[in-house]
Structures are given as structure tokens and as C-alpha cells.
Amino acid sequence: MAALSRFASLLRRRPATLPAALERAARRWPERDAFVNDEQRLSFAELRRRARVAASELARRGVARGERFALLLPNRLEWIVGFLAAAELGAVLVPLDTFYQPPELARAMRDCDVATLLCDDALLARVREGSIEDDALRVVLADELASWQQGDEAPPATSRPDDDLLYIRTSGSTGIPKGILMSQRRALAVAHAWRRFAPPTPDERCFSLAPLFRSPTLLGAALAGIYYGVSMILPASFTPAAVWQQIAHHRATIFHANPFHFAALADDESARDEHGVAPRLRAIYSTGNRLPPPVQKRFEQRFGVRVEERYGTSEVGAICKDGRPMRGVRIRIVDDEGRERPRGEVGEILVRTPLMATRYEGAPQASAEAFAGGWFHTGDMGRFEDDGRLRIVSRKKTAVEIGGRRVYADVVLRALRAHPDVVDAVVLREQHPDASATLRAVVVPRQGATLAAETIAEHCRARLSRHAVPAHIEIREELPRSWKTVEDAAQLDYPRWGEA
């Protein structure tokens, strides 16, 4: 209760809605860069003006308070302007993963009850491929929004602190997407909590390769940046050879990226830091999935820096920095019966914070399981080390990390079994010496059917994100008995050649 009271006191002293935070930023730092996308830039004052002009046009097109407004774009300024414009109108923002394939997009749009979609031409084509032909769906193209630079500004927002702001889709440990609603007040409080990883300094500039549709980036970098006047640099694309030059060019002080980016920079010969940019950064953060220790070691040794890992979830927000729980965060390590595990022993990580969600929308059973006893059951397995740091060991169920992204064995398995000539299948993680991993699928065809690996691969590509398509596919007459459960498959490493 004391922690909750401190947060309540803090929130009374600061803006409690996103439009109010943007208004304050525009007054306090009018000429400071808010967002930079390659050579395009918006100051805080210009960002507020552009957001209000766009809000006026969106209102004219029918966007209204409380309806779902989805954003399906790579990192670009129109993502931010559209997000803030819809927030001015009181719409509920739904960030969508740009890696979704047509069937995944169709499900997401349906589950989230999207009324308006902001996207580009390429991603709109993918949406249409998913047979989404809803005449009631409003579509706003990013290039359209970019052209709304002049015009009437919408009246000042009337958003209330307890109005819904965000609908975040999260898969947790099961791979089945669920929705979390986040109010204006809670979103800004979570952004503030994320920012404690690196309390801002004057003239802070954050160079981020992580996608805006991921909640740690959106809340912990973009919204926190508006809150504290931090400039955020969003490169339009990721090229390892260009990263250090871009960071120097934009005078960044913080580097924020996913494990995938750190692996590429550690191993790509072209990613040379010839002018010693990396050691001059104030902080380098890994966010998203867990940073594999071998990747972290290679990156740190190559560039002479230290990478700090941030651990958090959409349900809870910020949890740990380098294994140290954030202020106001309580953590338990428990066994399958909910009993406390001694220090040094592995169990499931349970978390409680004043800012955590309490349920998934429209999913009472999943809510009861995930938030049982007032604690969020993360699905992560970990232990406390002797020095008090939390060490994350693995996922409890079916999640594996492929190419820096979380992939779920049960989702891949369902796609494999959906093929009419497949009677059984299993998904295995194949670990490589360089700490990367790929998926291997073993498929049993129906009697009399002739299956080729490429046929199965094509079938998967039509249904899964590219990271989730198995890199290797074997056709067998039967599966070993020990491979029958998804949980076993997700945790089972495929034997190296000659060791089977």
C-alpha cells in the first residue's frame, strides 16, 4: 500500500493524460527535437501542431472517442503523429505487429474490433490478403497523413485520466494473443517506471532500433520521451554497417535495441565502430526478448561497452534492470504448487507492482490463471542468485527465441497440422554454436500421401510470421514417443548431427 500511495502522489503532480503531457512538452521544450526519422525531424511544438491538425482530419472522417484505432506501420514519424492524433480524440490505440502475416492480421483486426487502420500500401495489401473486406473499416494511409501538414487544429483534448488509451496484444507464455486495456493515467505511470532504467539528463537523445509496436519501446522510450523531453531517433531501416555512424550523426546518448540487433552488430564484419562511438554512450539497453549471454559477451568484447538488460512485460511494465528489481516491484520464485523456492533454485517468476494489469479483456479463464492470488504469473522460469539478482533461465511453456523474436511451438504446430496431408508433427529448437537458434519441424504424412519439405514450408509461410517458419523440415513415418507434447518439444534441443 505504501508503494501505491507513493505512485498516487507522484501522478497527482504530473500530467495524467497523453495530450496533457504533449502540451507540457511543447511549452517547455518547443524547439527541441521530439522525433527524428533519418533526416526528417519534428520538434515538440511542431509535433503538437501536426497531431492536432491530424486529429481534426481524423474527426472529420468519423474517428470518435472510445473506438479502436490500429497502427500498422514500421517506425516512421507518421506512426507517432497518428498515435497522438487519435489520442487527442480519445480513441483507443491498438499497435499491431508489422511481422504479422495475412491470417494473423485478420485475427488481430477481428479480436481488437478495429474501426480505423493507419498503415502503408504494402501492409494494406497484406491486410486485404487476409480477406478483411469490412466496408465499415476506415483506412488512413501514412502518406495521406503525412500530407496533412496545414489546416485547422482540433480543439484541445478532453481526455480523462481514466479513459482507455491503449489496447495491447500480448501472448504471454501460451502463444494465444490476449488483450490488455491501459488507461491514460496508467500508461504514463508505466512510461515513468520504464524510464527509471535510465533517468533522463538534459539534452538526452535516444537512438532506438526497437519497433514502436512493442510496449517497452512505445511506453519506455516514446511516451517517456514526451514526458521528459527526450529526443528519440528512429532510423527507417537497420543496416549494421551504418549504425555507429548514425548514432554519431544524431548525437545520441542512449542506444536501445533488441537482441537480434545486438547479435547482428556483434557478428557483422561491416559493423565497425571506427571512431569509438559506443564507449561514449551513456547507456546501452537490450529490450524485448532475453539477450543470450554469448551474444552479450561478443558484443561487449567487440565494442568495449556494457549492455544493460531490461526485463518487463506488457502486463506489469518494468520489472528489473540487470536483475535488480525496480522500486515498488515485488518478486517471488515458486514451484508448480505455488511454494516459495529457496535462493539459487529455479521456479516460475511471479511479480506484483502497483501498476500491473489485473485481467485480460474477454478472457476470464486466462485472467484467473495469469493473475491468481494478486500476482502476475509471468511464465518465465528463473532464480535469485547469491547477490540478489534475478536470473531468467527459460520459458515455462512453449516459447522459444528465434532470430531475436519470440516464437511459440504450439502456434507453429497448429499451422503444420492444418495441412490436409499431415497427420502428426512436432516442432524442435535447434541450437547452434554461435548461440542462435532455428526451428526444425518433423512431419508425419497421412498414409498414401507424398509430401515434400518445400510444400510444407510454403504452407507455413502463408500462415506464420517469417521467424516462425521452420528452417528445416523432415518427413518421417512416425514420431518418437518422447516428442508427443508441445511442452516437451519447445524445451527439447534437436541433437547435433552424429549425436543422435
61 and 179 share a domain?
yes
Q: Is residue 7 over pLDDT 70?
A: no
**264 assigned to some structural domain:** no
**223 assigned to some structural domain:** yes
Phi-psi region of 131 (alpha: psi -120 to 50; beta: other; left: phi over 0): left
User: How many CB atoms neighbour CB 39 within 10 A?
Assistant: 8
Q: Lowest mean pLDDT: which of 120-124, 155-159, 283-287?
A: 155-159
Residue 114: what are its φ and ψ, rounded to 5°?
-70, 130
- Residues of the chain with pLDDT > 90, as a percent, come to 49
Cβ burial of 347 (10 Å; 0-12, 13-18, 19+) is buried
- Angstrom distance (rounded) from CA 195 to CA 227: 10
370 and 410 share a domain?
no
End-of-domain residue from the set 348, 378, 395? 395
DSSP 27-63: HHSTTSEEEEETTEEEEHHHHHHHHHHHHHHHHHTT-
368 and 463 share a domain?
no
Range 422-429 average pLDDT: 83
- Angstrom distance (rounded) from CA 488 to CA 194: 34
Residue 175 has a pLDDT of 55
**285 assigned to some structural domain:** no
Residue 244 has a pLDDT of 97
- Residues of the chain with pLDDT > 70, as a percent, come to 88
DSSP 206-226: EEE-S-TTSHHHIIIIIIHHH
Report yes or no: 50 and 83 within 8 Å, Cβ to Cβ.
no
Residue 225 has a pLDDT of 92
| Mutual angle of helices 44-60 and 18-28, in 10-degree steps | 140
Q: Is residue 91 over pLDDT 90?
A: yes
**305 assigned to some structural domain:** no
Q: How confident is the model at residue 398 (pLDDT cuts 50, 70, 90)?
A: low
Residue 169: what are its φ and ψ, rounded to 5°?
-90, 130
74 and 194 share a domain?
yes
Q: In the sheet where 114-119 sits, what is the strand order? A: 138-141, 114-119, 68-72, 92-95, 164-170, 178-183
Residue 331 has a pLDDT of 95
Residue 360 has a pLDDT of 92
Q: Lowest mean pLDDT: which of 22-26, 37-41, 131-135?
A: 131-135
- Which CATH number belongs to the domain containing residue 358 in this structure? 2.30.38.10
Q: Which residue has the higher pLDDT, 12 or 442?
A: 442
352 and 444 share a domain?
no
- Angstrom distance (rounded) from CA 269 to CA 410: 36
User: How many CB atoms neighbour CB 379 within 10 A?
Assistant: 20
Q: How many CA atoms lie within 13 A of 245 on its CB side?
A: 9
DSSP 268-325: -TT---TT--GGG-SEEEE-SS---HHHHHHHHHHHT--PEEEEEETTTEEEEETTEE
- Angstrom distance (rounded) from CA 179 to CA 169: 5
339 and 463 share a domain?
no
- Report DSSP state, residue 361: B
Average pLDDT, the chain: 85
End-of-domain residue from the set 205, 237, 269? 237
- Three cell numbers at 449? 500421401
382 and 472 share a domain?
no
Q: Is residue 435 over pLDDT 90?
A: no
Helix (H) or strand (E) holding 383: strand 376-384
**410 assigned to some structural domain:** yes
> For residues 20, 21, 26 and 29, what is the CA-based torsion angle, rounded to 10 degrees?
150
- Which CATH number belongs to the domain containing residue 80 in this structure? 3.40.50.12780
Range 394-412 average pLDDT: 71
Residue 65 has a pLDDT of 93
- Which CATH number belongs to the domain containing residue 444 in this structure? 3.30.300.30
Q: Which of 181, 212, 179 lies closest to 109 in space, CA to CA?
A: 179
Q: Lowest mean pLDDT: which of 201-205, 341-345, 455-459, 472-476?
A: 201-205
Q: Is residue 311 over pLDDT 70?
A: yes
Q: How confident is the model at residue 254 (pLDDT cuts 50, 70, 90)?
A: very high
Range 54-64 average pLDDT: 94
Residue 399 has a pLDDT of 65
Q: Which residue has the higher pLDDT, 283 or 322?
A: 283
Residue 466 has a pLDDT of 87
Residue 484 has a pLDDT of 41
**476 assigned to some structural domain:** yes
117 and 188 share a domain?
yes
Give rounded-to-5 percent helix, strand, coil for the chain. 35, 25, 40
Q: Which of 434, 427, 439, 443 lies closest to 478 in space, CA to CA?
A: 443
Q: How confident is the model at residue 491 (pLDDT cuts 50, 70, 90)?
A: very low
**447 assigned to some structural domain:** yes
Range 48-67 average pLDDT: 94
87 and 209 share a domain?
yes
Q: Do the strands 68-72 and 92-95 form a parallel or antiparallel pair, or are they unpaired?
A: parallel
- Angstrom distance (rounded) from CA 189 to CA 363: 25
Residue 143 has a pLDDT of 94
Range 197-215 average pLDDT: 86
End-of-domain residue from the set 395, 430, 463? 395
Give Cα 438 distance to the centre of its chain: 20
Q: Which residue has the higher pLDDT, 194 or 500?
A: 194
**290 assigned to some structural domain:** no
Residue 485 has a pLDDT of 39
9 and 40 share a domain?
yes
Residue 37's domain comprises 2-237
Number of domains in the chain: 3
61 and 174 share a domain?
yes
Q: Which residue has the higher pLDDT, 363 or 407?
A: 363
Q: Lowest mean pLDDT: which of 179-188, 198-207, 394-403, 446-455?
A: 394-403
200 and 223 share a domain?
yes
- Angstrom distance (rounded) from CA 96 to CA 75: 12
Residues 6+ apart with CB under 8 A from 6: 328
